[in-house]
Amino acid sequence: MKRESLYAEKVLTHTPVQNINMLFWATIMFLIFGYFSQVQAAPHFATLDKVNGEVVVLKSDGSPIANGKDGMPVRPGQIVKTSGPNAVTDVVLFDGSRIRLLPSSEARFSVKKKEEKHNIQIDLIAGKIFNAVQKNKKSGHYVVKTPSSVAGFKGKVFSAELNKEQSVFMVQDGKLKVINPHEKNRQAVYVTSMNKTTTQAVQAPSESTPLSAEEIAMFDILKDIEVDIKIDIQGDTESVIREDTSVPGALE
C-alpha cells in the first residue's frame, strides 16, 4: 500500500522544468485556438454571388489572388474583375447591398468605420456597375469614384460607367451628388431619380438630364435581385445629402 502511494506521488509531482514546459505548451495551444477562433468568427466584408464566366479577385496592386466563385470572400482593398463578353458577378456587401459588375469591368472595394457608421467606397477602374443599395442603422456614406468624378449616393439604385475618360451616372431611385475633383471650382451637380450626368477630363459634371426609355430599360438587369432590396426611401432622398461643395461622402 505504501509502495503504491509513493508511485502515485511520483506520477503527480513534476519538477520545475516540467511545470514550465507544461505551462509553455498550454499557452501556445491557447493562443493557437484563440487565433483560429477569431479567424473563423470574423465576418467577411463582402462575398461574390451569381458568378458567371471569367471573374478574378485581385490584390490592391492588381496581382491575382484566385478565380472568383460563389461565396468567395472579398476583403477591403481587393479588386474584382470580369473578363470577356459574358463575365458578370455580384459583390454582396456586409450590409446586404449588391454591386453588379457587367462584362469587362473592374472595381476596388473599400470600407471605413467612423462613429459607428460604415462608409463604403468603390473605385471604378473600368466598365460598368449597377448598385442596389441596402440601408440600415449602420449605413454611412456610399461613394463611387472614377478618374474624373466622385459621386455620393443616398437612395436605392443607380449605375456608374467608365468609358475611357468619360464617366456616366444614372439614377433609377435616389439622389446622387457628383463633382469632378480636377475641375477648378469643384462644382457639384445633383441627380435625382430617372436622371443622369456625365463627367470627363477637367470639366464640371454636365447638368442633370432625364433618362431615355432605353436607358431606363437598362435597369431591368436587376430584376432578379429586387427581392433582396427591401427599403423604403420615399421622402428620404431630398435632404440627406449636404448642400455644400465638399467632396460628397469623401472617406478621410
Query: pLDDT band for position 20 (50/70/90)?
Result: low
Percent of the chain with pLDDT over 90: 60
Cβ neighbours, 10 Å, residue 223:
8
CA distance 22 to 9: 18
Assigned C-alpha cell, 209 = 438630364
Those residues with Cβ within 8 angstroms of residue 241's Cβ, 6 or more apart along the chain or in another chain: 152, 154, 175, 177, 190, 248
Which H or E run includes 21? helix 16-41
pLDDT 10s digits, 80-89: 999 989 999 9
100 versus 85: the higher-pLDDT residue is: 100
Other beta carbons within 10 angstroms of residue 58's beta carbon come to 17
Taking only the tens place, the pLDDT of each residue in 159-195 is 999 998 899 999 999 999 999 999 999 999 999 999 9
- Residue 155: HSE in the Cβ half-sphere, 13 Å Cα cutoff: 26
| Spatial contact of 91 and 99, defined as CB atoms under 8 Å apart | yes
Q: What is the pTM of this model?
A: 0.74
pLDDT at 229 over 70: no
Return the higher-pLDDT residue of 16 and 200.
200
pLDDT at residue 102 greater than cutoff 70: yes
Longest Cα–Cα distance in the chain? 99
3-state secondary structure 68-93: CCCCCEECCCCEEEEEEEEEEEEEEE
Segment 110-142, tens digit of pLDDT: 988 777 778 999 999 999 999 999 876 666 789
Give the Å distances, CA to CA, from 175 to 143, 172, 206, 242: 12, 9, 15, 11
Q: What is the DSSP letter of 222?
A: G
From 37-41, 185-189, 220-224, the region with the lowest mean pLDDT: 37-41
Query: Between the CA of residue 157 and those of 2, 9, 93, 186, what are the distances in Å?
Result: 83, 74, 15, 25
The secondary structure element, H or E, covering residue 117 is: strand 117-132
Look at residue 9 and tell me whether its pLDDT is greater than 60. Answer: no
Model pLDDT, residue 139: 67
